[in-house]
Structure 1
């Protein structure tokens, strides 16, 4: 495993770019293939939380497979399913690949941050010194500073890479 591959470290956080790979796999291989690639990404992320955490928070959050595995698996499934529904009997267009890229990125961001919030609210997240009024602005800040750039990047990179590769798959 290559450290930081698929992640751009920015201070204590990481901007995720590996969802681009999962969405491309979902476009090329369909929802089932995208799900397998997403599952692989999630399992690697889960193991990394134990052996090489990307941040101090990873030790608390990403050791839970609900946060580290399930959202990544769903990125492949949902973006692959959405792309299949959009192209159903016509040639794939760049905008459809872009939409799949943005949706895959948003699925990842919303589910990871949503599971973090849910874990905190039900007491599974051992951050007892943090109160709810501090958590929500922090999560919304991550969504703004990481989630939006990740979604834009996915919307641009996915069609640039997937369109030429589609010629070899069909």
Structure 2
């Protein structure tokens, strides 16, 4: 039991290192898109959720959120106030809800894939299908929650920062989800299958507790 726990902690450290490496590498973990950033950091969180279980997955999601907080505080874009309470731009400033947006979706990215994978394995014992859907679900968890929380908590400020009318903001958010979120989800699904299948050859079964 002790050896299993030690082994899990080693794996956890490995995933944390990957997240930090992606976060500090320019144009890799956080990809500038002018007014905001795309990210691939959710992928090791998704894989960690499947391989290590929801508790460790949630911790990896927290680390993901922490890197986002630091990045948006010290290397901000126009809309960074939605991710950090420590950044202001003119009349736009972050607050407590910035922390909610920054951490809650990312923590859930480390939880949802585990249960999607576990549930799909019970319905149909097909690793490729289960892993792919878990990857897609994890990515969409991040995109859907972040974008909808932004609309809910910072709608007017976000619209003004992006220079769009408040009445059209949700349409803009839906376009971001469609143009960025769906391709990200597909890529996450493919990478989750490829990487997890490779890892499973060497580490055995993923956590299904």
Q: In 2, Cα distance between the equivalents of 1:92 and 1:30?
A: 19
- What's 2:31 paired with? 8
User: More deviation in 77-86 or 8-17?
Assistant: 8-17
| Correspondence 1:8-157 to 2 at 5 A | 8-53=31-76, 55-58=77-80, 60-63=81-84, 64-88=98-122, 93-121=127-155, 127=160, 131-157=165-191
Greater CA radius of gyration, 1 or 2? 2
TM-score (norm 1): 0.86
CA contact (8 A) 2:82 2:154 kept: no
Matched-pair contact (CA < 8 Å) for 1:30–1:84? no
Q: Secondary structure at the match of 1:8?
A: strand
What is the root-mean-square deviation of aligned Cα atoms in Å? 2.4
Count matched residues. 167
Give the superposition deviation at 1:51.
0.6
CA 1:47–1:80 in 2, change beyond 3 Å: closer, same or farther?
A: same
Change (3 A) 1:89 1:138: closer
Q: What is the CA–CA distance in structure 2 between the aligned matches of 1:90 and 1:52, rounded to whole Å? A: 45
1 CA distance for matches of 2:104 and 2:26?
A: 22
Gaps of 5+ in 1: none
Q: State the TM-score, normalizing by the size of structure 2.
A: 0.71
Name the stretch that deviates more: 77-86 or 102-111. 77-86
1:92–1:35 Cα change, 3 Å:
farther
Q: Which has the higher contact order (CA 8 A, sep 6+)?
A: 1
Structure 2, unaligned runs of 5 or more: 1-23, 85-97, 205-209
